[in-house]
Amino acid sequence: MTFSDIFKSSFLENVTSVSVLDMVLALGIAFGIGLFIFFIYKKTYTGVMYSSSFGVTLVALTMISTFVILAVTSNVVLSLGMVGALSIVRFRTAIKEPLDIAFLFWAIAVGIVLAAGLIPLAVFGSLFIGIIILVFANRKDMSNPYILVVQCEDNAAEKGLAEFLKNNTKRCTVKSKSARPGNVEINLEIRLKEDNTDFVNRVSELSGVKSAVLVSYNGDFMG
């Protein structure tokens, strides 16, 4: 009995089903595009706490999906077993930023496309996606809402505050109000005319205003 007879699943034939040149080329390009995805992620991240480990995960995920698909495309039997193996995998890590999901799918898609031999699609597709994300993620949006928390001394100070906000904001809506003798606290949702939060300093200088706090209302604030 020879060594090859021991492996009834043609193990030795599967070793050479994917050439070394194909493996090196696919994994090398996957690493390069993974670094590009990491760069785009780092440039467009707008959350509270930047995680460098997630960026490294994007690079690793691109390469992992590449060699997995290379193995699957080389053997039909292996592909069926891979589907069964991956079906029992469960990921428990919560995705905090919606855009992070797009980066994860991007990395996986690049690995699949590269392993399929569609290198031009992977390269030019990634360049196009990266440019689109850079343009839209870094675009300043003046309509982002803020929560303004103001404490006033009396009703006269509240009226002065309302007049000031009417002239210096695009939109102002009262969300809640609490009052007790000598103190009135108002929570307002506002939209600034300009991307300049120095206006809260002017609010605090109004007559009868005890304090003013401006909080981002789009998920970028962590107390």
Residue 3: what pLDDT? 47
The yes or no reply on domain 146-216 and CATH 3.30.70.260 is: yes
Of residues 141, 127, 145, the one with CA closest to residue 190: 145
Q: Could you read off the pLDDT tens digit of each residue along the chain, which spans 223 residues?
A: 454 454 444 544 555 566 778 788 888 888 999 999 999 888 887 766 667 788 888 888 888 888 888 777 766 555 555 555 555 555 566 666 778 888 888 888 888 888 888 888 888 999 999 898 888 876 655 566 788 888 888 888 888 888 888 887 788 888 888 888 878 888 888 887 776 667 788 888 888 888 888 887 654 444 4
- Is the pTM here over 0.75, yes or no? no
Give the pair of three-digit tokens for residue 47: 């959350």
* Gap between the Cα atoms of 98 and 137, Å rounded: 12
Domain parsing of the chain, residue ranges: 3-137, 146-216
